[in-house]
Amino acid sequence: MPGLASSVFTYTEQAIRPYYLMRGRFANREAVMNQAELRASLEQQKAELMTRVDKIKADVGRGLEADSKEQAAQLENQEVLDGIANEATDEITKISAALKRMDEGVYGICTQCGAEIDKRRLTVRPHAGRCIVCAS
């Protein structure tokens, strides 16, 4: 089977072959650069979200006013802030998982079925761990 080895292991500077995609590796410099930029963007988003969560926790941790009407409004606000903090924490978890997949060399590969995640999906949701079929 002389043709099999050459078709699986060959690659050009312009294209990424399926052999490398299955393992989440990038065969050209542009893809590696894009991943480095993406990593920096994800790390920045994660830091911003962590700062937001810290500010929310500090705000929620403040004492309540003596006035009962004011306390009622503060409690409502705390519930809303708790919801926002929970969403931010979920987002932080997803971003951390995406960064871990990058470290492991499997970023862009569906964690459920092993197929490549469409680049358009990753553009919109860079922390996506599943392809659109598995996420549906």
> Which CATH number belongs to the domain containing residue 119 in this structure?
1.20.120.910
Q: Is 50 a member of any domain?
A: yes
> Are the CB atoms for 42 and 127 separated by under 8 Å?
yes
pLDDT in tens, 35-89: 888 899 999 999 999 999 998 888 877 776 677 777 777 777 788 888 889 999 9
Q: What is the pLDDT of residue 4?
A: 38
Would you say residue 16 has pLDDT above 60? no
pTM across the whole model: 0.67
Tally of domains in the chain = 1
Would you say residue 131 has pLDDT above 90? yes
Q: Taking the CB of residue 111, how many other CB atoms lie within 10 A of it?
A: 14
Would you say residue 3 has pLDDT above 50? no
Q: Is 104 a member of any domain?
A: yes
pLDDT: which is higher, 134 or 19 = 134
Cα–Cα distance list, 49 to 43, 54, 89 (Å): 10, 9, 8
Q: Taking the CB of residue 127, how many other CB atoms lie within 10 A of it?
A: 20
Q: Residue 134: pLDDT band by 50, 70, 90 thresholds?
A: very high
Burial (0-12, 13-18, 19+ Cβ within 10 Å), 78: middle
> Are the CB atoms for 25 and 105 separated by under 8 Å?
yes
Q: What is the pLDDT of residue 32?
A: 46
pLDDT in tens, 90-110: 999 999 999 999 999 999 999
Q: Is 1 a member of any domain?
A: no
Q: Is 26 a member of any domain?
A: yes
- Provide the residue range defining the domain that includes 90: 6-135
